[in-house]
Amino acid sequence: MIPHARIRNELRRLWWRYSPERKDAKKRARLRRGIYLCDACGGLTGKIELDHLVPIGPTPGSKHAKSGTTWDTFIDRLFNGELQALCTTCHAKRTKEQVPCRAI
């Protein structure tokens, strides 16, 4: 049996390589070669990270998955979501806000 994490990683790799939405978002953020504009803070950065406006959420079978989570909804959110271009600082901040708290 293939673990769900491997399936998730392969789907994300396919999205990164073939998604026209990803390419368009990166093109919109590009000011010139190697310089991008962050949608959140408006700062200039050399490295841009693309973030889904509506979080993709957990994969089916993961410990954070809610009942009713299916691969179809995960794939739909991954490939059809709106994207924003963020600098690494803004992306880390947004990701931290979205990740559920974990007990230590």
pLDDT digits (tens, 9 = 90+) for 55-64: 887 777 777 7
103 in a domain, yes or no?
no
With respect to residue 69, please indicate whether it lies within any of the assigned structural domains. Answer: yes
Amino acid at 46: G
pTM: 0.75
Residue 3, CB-side half-sphere exposure with 13 Å CA sphere:
5
Q: Is residue 104 part of a domain?
A: no
For residue 74, what are the domain limits?
A: 4-98
In a domain, 54, yes or no: yes
In a domain, 21, yes or no: yes
Query: In this structure, is residue 52 part of a structural domain?
Result: yes
pLDDT digits (tens, 9 = 90+) for 10-52: 998 998 898 898 999 999 999 999 999 999 999 999 999 999 9
Domains of the chain: total = 1
Is residue 38 one of the residues assigned to a domain? yes
